[in-house]
Copies of this chain bind each other. A is one copy, B any other.
């Protein structure tokens, strides 16, 4: 069974809707595990790893439209270097501070490979789920897409400083809170825009028509490619950008954009079925978390 099949099995067992975070007793809770081989390219600092791993969980809280309260991390490594450990904690603390949450520590574990498991907790009385998109709604995305693809390209060419800079994304907690009263469905783009749309389509039993000209591609993508087509592909399928993808009733889009503290870009509309880009079927292709 591959990881995706296993996730589906677990989802059926535990949470048929498959939201970004579980909801229990007015709290939202989410956990993620990341590790060196698949998630932290050579050159990633421990500060960035702390920021990014805790940020990934905070992004799930954001995707529920919830306030972020706290995060913890378990840090596993073959050895514990003082500077690395402090760097990790500072990154984790800083990303929490950036969204008004508290980093409250965690656990350490000896392990062959650097591995981080993070949990974030939020609070909301009115969570936004994945299942509420309705035909006629407008699909919107926060910020820009392709930033992580750009970071990986920079790590690969050896510009670790730029790679680390691009890897430190801002979890969209404030945007998620602002969008909560407007959005009919929401999730984060951690698996890439294409896969996120397919997941929303399945949860809401709807379709999407996306226009490629509208997709906000991060300028950084063009630091490592001149091809518009390649840039679009990176922005659409690479994933791990941790932006919010949401659907909003058409007559509420202007108000939502005014309320949201980051750019909110309409990229298409909700249909009865099918997921398309410029009229062509958009494959359910993207990042499979390793």
* Inter-subunit contact B5/A80 (CB<8 Å): yes
* Inter-subunit contact B109/A30 (CB<8 Å): no
Collect the chain B residues with CB atoms within 8 Å of residue A32's CB.
Answer: 74, 107
* Inter-subunit contact B74/A109 (CB<8 Å): no
- A85 part of interface (Cβ distance < 8 Å): yes
* Inter-subunit contact A89/B35 (CB<8 Å): no
- State the CA gap A25–B38 with chains docked (Å): 34
Cβ contacts A42-84/B at 8 Å (1 or 0 each): 0000000000000000000000000001101110100111100
* Inter-subunit contact A111/B110 (CB<8 Å): no
Number of copies of this protein chain within its complex: 2
- State the CA gap A2–B81 with chains docked (Å): 9
- State the CA gap A23–B69 with chains docked (Å): 11
- A3 part of interface (Cβ distance < 8 Å): yes
Most chain B beta carbons < 10 A, residue from A11, A24, A102, A112: A24
* Inter-subunit contact B72/A38 (CB<8 Å): no
Q: How far is the CB of A67 from chain B (nearest CB, A)?
A: 10
